[in-house]
Amino acid sequence: MQAHDFKEIIIRRSTLEDSESFQRCLDTVARERKWLTLLEAPNLEEVRTFIPKLSVQFVAITQGTVVGWCDISIPRKRDGFCHCGVLGMGLLPEFRRRGLGERLLRATIDAAHANGLSRIELEVYASNHAAIRLYERLGFAHEGRRRQARILDGQVEDNLCMALVLAGQDPPYGPASFSCRLAQNAASS
């Protein structure tokens, strides 16, 4: 697929109808063996189960095909941690370094904030300089380094731990409590 005029790319919330196209996009990025912890995408049934459990996921679509995604999951569905989400994102190679990742990230952060999340965490390989610059530009702070977190194909990689704390939220009294209940209900169904 060729990178098209970026005005033709639509950023929107994902739906279950995006599952197959999202899986192909995820698989392409995973098989690069550079950016994600996954080395291949889960099977389609797992993807269909995963999407509804996310707090929020946006996709970039052109000509009916998912070319990128950004999502936030709530992995710790326990009292005291429901305000925290974990970010994941990726773009097909020909759509990188054109501002699309920033558009996806901004839409996802805005939706997460509206859903009551006040902390968004991520891990990024230290060699992924473009992603690190993007996260820093959008306000993510460095919180730590996991040394030699991955050894793959003879390459040793550190993981950088980063987080964005959204101002003006009071999770115990605000929408985050509701967001956690939604996540718990989705996980149990």
Catalytic residues: 123, 135
For residues 149 and 157, the answer to whether their CB atoms sit within 8 Å is: yes
Q: b/e per residue, 3-39, with b = 16+ CB within 10 A?
A: beeeeebebeebeeebbebbbbbbebbbeeeebbeee
**In angstroms, rounded to a whole number, what is the distance separating the alpha carbons of residues 40 and 15?**
21
Pairing of strands 84-91, 65-73: antiparallel
Listing DSSP states for 99-110 in one string gives SHHHHHHHHHHH
Task: Tokens 């993007």: give the residue.
Answer: 134
